[in-house]
């Protein structure tokens, strides 16, 4: 095949052409890695960040037994379980979401990043919705003492869908 490409597509990079027409995926294409650095440099920095209520996030995780409210996974580590407190409406600018129980979910790291990046949203009846496939993943796992704010759910869903719109 390379001979045909060289004969009929002179001046065209055969690897780029094969990748462009889907005969070689970019993940299969050869990738060269740099050598890295055995002694990475350090840089001092000063940052301003919001102080979230870590005790509240811990309470939310405890209420759910450190099980992800979307997929149900509970990550077990040698020193206990791991889950993340995820804000439905982000607390920083420009969203200004509150740091309160109705705005926090207990999620596994994978679902947390998918939720934060808008690949997962929640419906108003608290079903997890996969924005990539257009499929409902299932009901959000709930606890009677942890009420979720539908206002924050709707805000998250709308901002996620707006961010996914193509810009022309």
- Find out whether 54 and 61 touch, Cβ atoms under 8 Å: no
Paired tokens of 148: 């979720």
Domain boundaries along the sequence of the chain: 54-164
Say how far apart CA 39 and CA 44 lie, in whole Å: 16
HEC sequence for 56-109 = HHHHHHHHCCCCCCCCCCCEEECCEEECEEEECCCCCCCCCCCCCHHHEEEECH
The pLDDT assigned to 97 comes to 94
Q: What is the pLDDT of residue 25?
A: 54
| Exposure on the CB side of residue 65, measured as CA atoms within 13 A | 7
Checking 2-8 for CB contacts under 8 A at 24+ apart, the result is none
When pLDDT is cut at 50, 70 and 90, the band that residue 168 belongs to is: low
Structure tokens at 128: 């997890």
For 62, the token pair is: 């405890």
**What's the N-to-C CA distance of the chain in angstroms?**
38
Contact 76, 115 (CB under 8 A): no
pLDDT of the residue at 39: 83
Give residue-wise pLDDT tens across range 16-67: 777 777 676 555 556 778 888 788 888 898 887 777 779 999 999 999 999 9
- Report whether pLDDT(75) > 60: yes
Q: Is 131 helix (H, G, I), strand (E, B) or coil?
A: coil
What are the φ and ψ backbone dihedral angles of 64, each rounded to 5 degrees? -95, 10
Q: Is the pLDDT of residue 131 over 90?
A: yes
* Comparison of pLDDT for 23 and 126, the residue scoring more: 126
Report residue 147's pLDDT band, with 50, 70 and 90 as the boundaries: very high
Question: Tens of pLDDT along 84-116?
Answer: 999 999 998 899 999 999 999 999 999 999 999
Query: 11 or 76: whose pLDDT is higher?
Result: 76
């Amino acid at each position: 095949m390379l001979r045909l490409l060289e004969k009929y597509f002179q001046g065209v990079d055969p690897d780029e052409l094969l990748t462009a027409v889907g005969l070689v995926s970019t993940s299969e294409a050869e990738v060269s890695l740099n050598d890295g650095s055995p002694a990475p440099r350090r840089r001092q920095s000063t940052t301003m960040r919001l102080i979230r209520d870590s005790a509240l996030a811990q309470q939310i995780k405890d209420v759910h037994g450190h099980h992800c409210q979307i997929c149900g996974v509970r990550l077990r580590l040698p020193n206990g379980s791991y889950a993340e407190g995820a804000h439905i409406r982000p607390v920083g600018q420009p969203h200004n979401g509150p740091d309160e129980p109705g705005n926090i979910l207990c999620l596994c790291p994978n679902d947390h990043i998918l939720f934060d990046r808008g690949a997962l949203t929640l419906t108003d009846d608290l079903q997890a919705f996969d924005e990539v496939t257009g499929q409902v993943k299932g009901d959000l796992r709930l606890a009677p003492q942890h009420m979720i704010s539908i206002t924050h759910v709707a805000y998250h869903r709308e901002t996620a869908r707006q961010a996914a719109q193509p810009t022309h």
